[in-house]
Structure 1
Amino acid sequence: MNFQLSLFLAALGLACFLEALPWLISPEKTRETLRLLLSLSDGQLRTGGILLLAFGLLVCAAGRALRGD
């Protein structure tokens, strides 16, 4: 397995782009969402984190399967 710097940088750039969109489109709604997240318990945040992590891994696996890796 080779480390591909160009792929890593493209993924990092896409992550930054997606992270910035809510702040650009609706900063007030983003603040409201952050306030809501602050009110959640540690368990709720962990559950959400695990679900998001699993979803991300499934998307990566699907992408690799479609590519034939």
Structure 2
Amino acid sequence: MLTINAGVPPALVARLRLRRRTEARSRNDEKLTVIIVLALGVIIAPTPVGEGIPDFLGQLATGITDSTR
């Protein structure tokens, strides 16, 4: 069984978005980058909220998977 840490996809997206040139960004593009980085921070933070989000997403994925059987 292959598992992926919940922080890896947002970290990759944030890294790719931050590699782009600053001059080519619009305000909406900058806001989206900030939201992605904040979401990454919440996911990897050792707080009840940060630990609860992956648990919730795991339960949601399990429920969707079980409902398709």
The question of a shared fold, defined as TM-score above 0.5 by the shorter chain, is answered with no
Greater RCO (Cα-Cα under 8 Å, separation 6 or more): 2
Q: Which has the higher helix share?
A: 1
Query: TM-score, length-normalised on structure 2?
Result: 0.43
Query: TM-score, length-normalised on structure 1?
Result: 0.43
Say which one has the larger Rg: 1
